[in-house]
Amino acid sequence: MIKIGIIGGTGYTGVELLRLLAAHPEADLRIITSRGEAGKQVAELFSSLRGHVDLAFSEPETKSLAGCDVVFAATPNGVAMTHARELLKAGVKLIDLAADFRLKDPAAWEKWYGMPHACPELLAEAVYGLPEVNREKIKKTRLVANPGCYPTAVQLGFLPLLENGLVDTQHLIADAKSGVSGAGRKAELHALFSEAADSMKAYGVAGHRHWPEIRQGLDSASKKSVGLTFVPHLTPMIRGIHATLYARLTQPGAQLQALFEQRYAKEPFVDVMPAGSHPETRSVRASNVCRIAVHRPHDGDTVVVLSVIDNLVKGAAGQAVQNMNIMFGLDERTGLDQVAVLP
């Protein structure tokens, strides 16, 4: 059994981690921390976990976490990096669901997240936890930077095109929509029901924190710097991300459907749908699956890729568990075989 600790178990990604790990056959949940809820039973805060998680929240003390095999940090940005040195020194593996170790450049981190990095020496060691790209590195690392939700959907949609040099890399467009749970479990005006329901709006058009993360991954896939326009939107749903991706083909004769099917043929959590399909966010709700469809409208030189995920699962907690499975030599599908919830 894998002894597991969770730092910050009260947010949406934290409770999603608890849901998944409670049913994981190799997971031994030992510690769940929360400064605000210390001493309170988990099931008292989240009644959905009654009979599944018999633990109380505790203070986030590194000494107690050091007894775990792996710790998940489901905390706001800037928290995991304050625990990282001591946990790694104690021999604990760390999977950070926030952005602390996603960007390789500490100056870029400070620019986008408004604070200096607490342990920049660890950035080079951290492995970006997108299994479809870095599986072999994930197997060997002790520090995983779990990807963001938008970056997961966007990168998986663009990867086959960039890896094969089929598109103009200077004019990539990602038009992405997210449910309100992506804003986190906190009281904010824009996420109130009366503000978000029956409406949709773009935000962060001038610059969003996920842009440098997405671009870093796309640069790596294409082996050169790409030009990316990324526009996120808030939609009146709870879970889900729908990314509509646009690129101009430089090789019009490319067999796009076959290309995507071959790229993801052995990926357990990427489903390339039949030609002409239009994946829906509800088709992946509560599952760790990314569903993709590729289109070439009017047989022109524009390729349109549709990519959908559950932002809390493949976009956060599910992908983190997938990374844990890889790190500990398990079948990466372990504990993640839930069928999507419909309706």
Which residues are known catalytic residues? 149
As a whole number of Å, the CA-based R_g of the chain is 20
| Residue indicated by tokens 């790596």 | 220
Q: How far is CA 213 from CA 8, 13, 154, in A?
A: 23, 19, 11
Q: How far is CA 130 from CA 36, 61, 148, 170, 256, in A?
A: 31, 29, 10, 23, 22
* Cβ neighbours for 104, distance < 8 A, ≥ 6 positions apart: 123, 124, 216
Nearest to 97 by CA among 151, 150, 61, 145: 145
Strand partners, 248: 302
Structure tokens at 285: 């709700």
State the burial class of residue 255 (Cβ atoms within 10 Å of its Cβ: 0-12, 13-18, 19+): exposed
| 76 φψ region: left (φ > 0), alpha (ψ -120 to 50), beta (else) | beta
